[in-house]
């Protein structure tokens, strides 16, 4: 995969069950108030560490508020060597509406 793909919450859920990593690029307060269960908060401070320790071949799903900012972040991560990157269409808002039981609260899981 030389570029990211946009996927629906249903496709993201399928990938999650297969072990895909989910990263959330929203602000820390929004992440703390609710995020996809098992996702990691990713920002400018945690990005380098995340990339250094990540399996670049593992599927990676990028989530934001509504599915717009995640596209730029997904493209950046492809450029950093990740081979299978997805942008979540509709972002956390659509995810939460579709899978309310698959959301969590707290600063980190």
Q: Of 67, 87, 68, 91, which is closest to residue 77 (Cα–Cα)?
A: 87
Total Cβ atoms within 10 A of residue 63 = 30
Active-site residue identified among 7, 12, 62, 64: 64
Residue 64 annotated among the catalytic residues of the structure: yes
* Residues classed as catalytic: 64
């Amino acid at each position: 995969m030389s570029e990211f793909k946009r996927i629906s919450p249903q496709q993201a859920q399928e990938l999650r069950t297969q072990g895909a990593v989910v990263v959330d690029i929203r602000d820390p307060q929004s992440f703390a108030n609710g995020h996809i269960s098992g996702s990691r908060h990713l920002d400018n401070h945690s990005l380098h560490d995340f990339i250094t320790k990540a399996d670049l071949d593992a599927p990676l799903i990028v989530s934001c508020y509504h599915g717009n900012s995640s596209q730029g972040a997904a493209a950046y991560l492809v450029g950093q060597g990740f081979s299978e990157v997805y942008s979540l269409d509709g972002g956390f808002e659509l995810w939460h509406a579709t899978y309310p039981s698959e959301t969590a609260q707290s600063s980190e899981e």
